[in-house]
Amino acid sequence: MKYLITGVKGQLGYDITRELDKRGETDYLALDVDDMDITDTEKVMEVITTYQPDVIFHCAAWTAVDKAEEMEESCQKVNVEGTKNITDAAIKVDAKLIYLSTDYVFDGTKEGYYTEEDAVNPKSVYGRTKYLGEEEVRRNKKHFIARISWVFGINGNNFIKTMLKLSENHDTVNVVDDQIGSPTYTVDLAKVLVDMAQTEKYGTYHVTNENYCSWAEFAEYIFKSNNKDTKVNKVTTEEYVELTKTNQAYRPRNSKLSKEKLKQQGFDLLPTWQDATDRFCKELREKR
């Protein structure tokens, strides 16, 4: 099979190429914005029709959640128009299309777990554009939509790296305790997405590491896992905004995504986020 990956310089795109390498897959084209700007309709069509991939992993996206509120047009261009271009080209070459979406498509007010069938209600520009991207992707019959959350990987910035950096010169950090979700390791995610690509079990899936926590609990675990003495001061989202004086985009309070469908379709569930955090931190230490 031939694979094409967009957004290879991001956390997930990078780990998908590592997963393909691990499986001995050598026929892939891994691109970033310098190689193919997804908002350039003609370029996207030219690259994809020339390469003729069997599978496209569409990882490129506008992910700066807060910045999206001020730069709605730019965010829309990347997440919606860019995704439309990728979808049109995928349909043209009859490729399977794997698209990464987000817990931000939900408003986070539901009790319990969100299933793939629950009504969406995005409250941020980022969430809305990612959902509109989902709608574009659904035009291609051969699609997989993977909704993910709280992502971390070696090739980029993430919450774990930020906390470890802060622990170098802070005794205490303020972290929100009223947003609940699943931290998700791109190494584990890449494995399941490549598994999906080998099947025809198309549709929308929730794909995150197992178990749930708040950001504050996540931070506590990171410090513990790295033998740091930094204390976590648990605050509400409102208190955090007040303390930091930031203009924040709306964030769902409940991002518990049900993985029942993943299980039913015979895909492996990802390890727990605690296990994933330990492995990631080990990888970080070995890189130093």
> Any catalytic annotation for residue 126?
yes
Q: What parts of the chain have a pLDDT lower than 70?
A: none
- Pairwise CA distance, residues 103 & 65, whole Å: 12
How many other β-carbons are positioned within 10 Å of the β-carbon of residue 185?
A: 28
- Pairwise CA distance, residues 225 & 171, whole Å: 16
Q: Is CATH 3.40.50.1110 correct for 3-158+183-211+256-270?
A: no
Residue 228's pLDDT is what? 96
Q: Check 28, 99, 114, 126 and give the catalytic one.
A: 126
Name the residue type at position 56: I
Residue 288's pLDDT is what? 74
Query: Which tokens go with 155?
Result: 């090739």
Q: Quick one: residue 114, left, alpha or beta (phi over 0 = left, psi -120 to 50 = alpha)?
A: beta
Q: How far is CA 132 from the centre of its chain?
A: 16
Would you list the domain boundaries of the chain? 3-158+183-211+256-270
- Per the DSSP assignment, residues forming a β-bridge with 114 are 257
Residue 245's pLDDT is what? 80
Helices (H), ranges, the chain: 11-22, 41-51, 65-70, 72-76, 83-93, 125-137, 159-167, 186-197, 215-225, 237-244, 260-264, 273-287
Query: Which tokens go with 59?
Result: 């990882």
Reduced to 3 states, what is the DSSP secondary structure of residue 265? Answer: coil
Are 21 and 187 in contact by the 8 Å Cβ rule? The answer is no
Intra-chain end-to-end CA distance of the chain, in Å: 35
Are 205 and 144 in contact by the 8 Å Cβ rule? The answer is yes
